[in-house]
Every structure is written in C-alpha cells, then in structure tokens.
Amino acid sequence: MEPSADELKKVLTDVRAEVAKVIIGQEEAVTAALIAIFTNHHALVEGVPGIAKTLLVRTLARVLGCEFSRIQFTPDLMPSDITGTNVFDFHKNEFTLVKGPVFTSFLLADEINRAPAKTQAALLQAMQERRVTIDRDTLELDENFTVFATQNPIEYEGTYPLPEAQKDRFMLKIRMDCPGRDHELTLAQRMLGADAPERTLDAGAVRAVLPPGQLTRFRAALEGIFVREEILGYMVDVVRATREHESILVGAGPRATQALLLACRARAVIHGRDYVSPDDVKSLATMVLEHRLILRPEYEIEGHTTPEVVQSILQEVAVPR
C-alpha cells in the first residue's frame, strides 16, 4: 500500500530532526536537498569551502538508508574514473568490470567544474537515464541515484563551466551561505567537545529514518498533492516570461516547468499541506530557474544577477487568487 501524504510528512519531519544533529542551521538548504531527493532529481550545491556541503549529503545518505560516494573532480579526471572500466584478469584470463563510484545512491560530484567537458559528459547519461554504457554494455544504476554537484562560487580560475545541456539536468541550485553568529557559535562550542558534527555522524548517533529500499515507495505520496489549474498556469507563465524578458538572452525550457511543478509539490508536503500554493512557486522559482538562464552581456556588465531578474519576473507575473 502506498504511503499517504501525512506519512510522508512524518518521515520528512524525522529526517530533518536527524539531520539537525549534524548540520547546524542551513534549514533552507536541507529542505531543498530533500525536495531534490524525494522528486528523484539532481541538485547543484554552491557555497564557499568548509560550509558543510559534503557533510550534508553524507548525513542525508545515512538518514535515508542510502549508499554514498564522492568524486573529487580534477583536470586529469577521466570518464572511466567515474563510470568504471573493464580490466583484464590474468588469473581468470578474462575481462572483469570494475565499477566506478557512479554505482551508488547519492553521488557527490565535488567541484564538478574542475574537470573538462568530456569528463563532465560522463554524468549526462547517468543523470538522465540512470544507466551507463561501458564498452557497449549498458548497466542500470540504483533507482535512487541522485547527483549533488558542488561548485565554489569565488574561484573560477582553471575551471570548465558546465554546458547548458548539463545544467538543465539539475533540478535546483542550492546556495549554502555562511551561518549566522548564533549557529557559528554553536558550531564552535560543539567542536570543543565530543559532539562535533563529523564525530556525531561517524559515531553512529544519527539513525536511519527509512530502511534501505523504502525511499521509492514514499515518493508516490507526492502524486496526491493537489495543484489548482490557476497555480499550474502561474508556473507556466513564470517560466515562459524568462524567454521574453529584456535582460535574458536564453530563457528556461519546458524541463524547468516540470521541475518547478515537482519541487512545489514536495515543498507543500514539507510544510504540512496537501495542496500547492503561490508561495511555493515564489520560494522555489529562483532555485529552479537561476542556473538555467543566461543574461545578456550588457546587463551583466551593469551588475544585474539572475536571482534579481527572477524576482523581478515574479513581481511582473500576475499571482492567482
């Protein structure tokens, strides 16, 4: 029997409580990560070093009963380092497949823009189809396969910007900002004792809320979230406005509309509702659209940013009652 929206809400509440044992603050980032996971999509995570990007994904994997792998992207990383390769076994006199780190549930692609395009492209098929092809053999990935790709927002020297086709495969762009004073003070105090965040996770103090294999079952509960026709039209109008705005060179495609719809349904459950509201659209529009837009050069020179443009679009599009 499929779980109800109330059961999913309880699971999400328990997940957030367990994650809070390790991750101090960052409530918005945790919510966005859960939205990506429970809608079976991928997310870009942007933040300065030391902001707990890796720790967040590791913690979520532990709490949701999923496997975790990490790839440090570097200029010399090869596609086979991600997907795996066939290696000749002299003892057996045959080739044996050595699977790469992509064969997992949650994959952290750390500093994905450090690797060249051909290596970044190794993730394209995996992200879109959840399968990889190695030496003409196509292998299925875990049904919960989710990529969290990180980028450092302050250093672009020696990087390879993600192509538009790959950025469009990420449902959300999650920004992790530096914590406020109270949260940073709490972190400093915990570092003096035995309950430092990473020690808490490694010591097994964080329990798994879902047993292995149950994540897929709970995703079905999102289908029961009601979306009014007016709200659906509002989402479509917001996305279409990005293609006509004077400051945008390349707007968002239909995949952005689909992503915004799914994300809003997940946010509604997290906030204890069985329906999508205009506030869901307003809260998630920037995360869904920001990385999909290309501003005109003259507007970038003037200092305009994509989040600002998205917010201006939200003010221009009529909100349904």
Task: For residue 274, tell me if it sits in a domain.
Answer: yes
Tokens of residue 133, six digits: 């092809």
Task: For residue 14, tell me if it sits in a domain.
Answer: yes
Task: For residue 218, tell me if it sits in a domain.
Answer: no
Output the pLDDT for position 5: 72
Q: Each residue of 153-188: b (16+ CB within 10 Å) or e?
A: eeeeeebbebeeebbbbbbbbbbbeebeeeeeeebe
Same-domain status, 204 and 231 = no
Rounded alpha-carbon distances, angstroms, from residue 51 to 152, 156, 287: 11, 18, 18
Give the mean pLDDT of 39-66: 90
Give the mean pLDDT of 186-194: 85
In the chain, the percentage of residues whose pLDDT exceeds 90 is 47
Output the pLDDT for position 156: 67
The DSSP line for 189-236 is HHHTSTT-HHHHHHTT-SPPSS-TT-HHHHHGGGGG-B--HHHHHHHH
* pLDDT over 90 at 206, yes or no: no
| Domain final residue pick, 179, 209, 239 | 209
Same-domain status, 192 and 264 = no
Same-domain status, 122 and 255 = no
In the chain, the percentage of residues whose pLDDT exceeds 70 is 98
Task: For residue 173, tell me if it sits in a domain.
Answer: yes
Same-domain status, 51 and 116 = yes
Nearest Cα to Cα of residue 265 among 35, 8, 64, 11: 35
* pLDDT over 80 at 61, yes or no: yes
Domain that holds residue 294: 225-321
Same-domain status, 250 and 306 = yes
* Residue 278 DSSP SS3: helix
Q: Could you tell me the CATH number of the domain that includes residue 198?
A: 3.40.50.300
Q: Could you tell me if 281 and 228 are in contact, meaning their C-beta atoms sit under 8 angstroms apart? A: no
Give the mean pLDDT of 57-72: 92
Alpha carbons 63 and 85: distance in angstroms, whole number? 31
* pLDDT over 90 at 315, yes or no: yes
What distance separates the 2 farthest-apart alpha carbons in the chain?
Answer: 71
Output the pLDDT for position 276: 94
The chain-wide mean pLDDT, for the chain, equals: 89
Same-domain status, 193 and 231 = no
Output the pLDDT for position 170: 94
Q: What is the pLDDT of residues 80-107, one digit of tens each?
A: 999 998 888 888 787 888 899 999 999 9
Alpha carbons 293 and 291: distance in angstroms, whole number? 6
Task: For residue 237, tell me if it sits in a domain.
Answer: yes
Rounded alpha-carbon distances, angstroms, from residue 271 to 8, 13, 27, 139, 234: 11, 10, 13, 38, 20
Nearest Cα to Cα of residue 70 among 167, 148, 184: 148
Total domains in the chain come to 2
| Domain final residue pick, 209, 234, 268 | 209
Q: Could you tell me the CATH number of the domain that includes residue 267?
A: 1.10.8.80
Q: Is the pTM of this model over 0.95?
A: no
